[in-house]
Amino acid sequence: MSVLPNAVKTSEGVSVNGFLLSPVVEQCSGCDRVRQFEEQEFCSSYPNPGGKWAGGQCNFATHIKNQSAAAVKVNPLKASKRAAKGR
Ligand code: SF4
């Protein structure tokens, strides 16, 4: 796993470019954006991974992309109606 670039340890926690970071959450496990720093894991894209998952699935997660894309695209009923109408 890659190391988190520009990370520094401050008295308030781990910080990158002035932003305090929270460690990744359980759902992030397997995502390519997870980075390691000081025995903890952080997201290279979001300072607060827990917040990304609070409203549902993280839209930047690399490990579940295919599932979410499939869930959004495939609605067989609508697809067959559209096909029947010829558009
Ligand atoms: S991109 Fe999303 S799933 Fe991946 S590590 Fe960051 S917050 Fe977690």
Model pLDDT for residues 5-15, shown as the tens digit of each residue: 999 999 999 99
Residue whose CA lies nearest to ligand 1 atom number 6: 43
Sole residue written with tokens 């980075």 = 35
- Regarding the beta carbon of 21 and ligand 1, being less than 6 Å apart is answered no
Q: What is the pLDDT of residue 66?
A: 55
Both structure tokens of 39? 């025995």
Residue ranges per structural domain of the chain = 7-85
Mutating to test ligand 1, I would choose from 36, 43, 65 the residue with most ligand atoms within 8 A of its C-beta, which is 43
6-65 pLDDT, tens digit per residue, is 999 999 999 999 999 999 999 999 999 999 999 999 999 999 999 999 989 999 999 985
- Regarding the beta carbon of 4 and ligand 1, being less than 6 Å apart is answered no
Pairing relation of β-strands 19-20 and 34-37?
Answer: unpaired
Sole residue written with tokens 């520009």 = 6
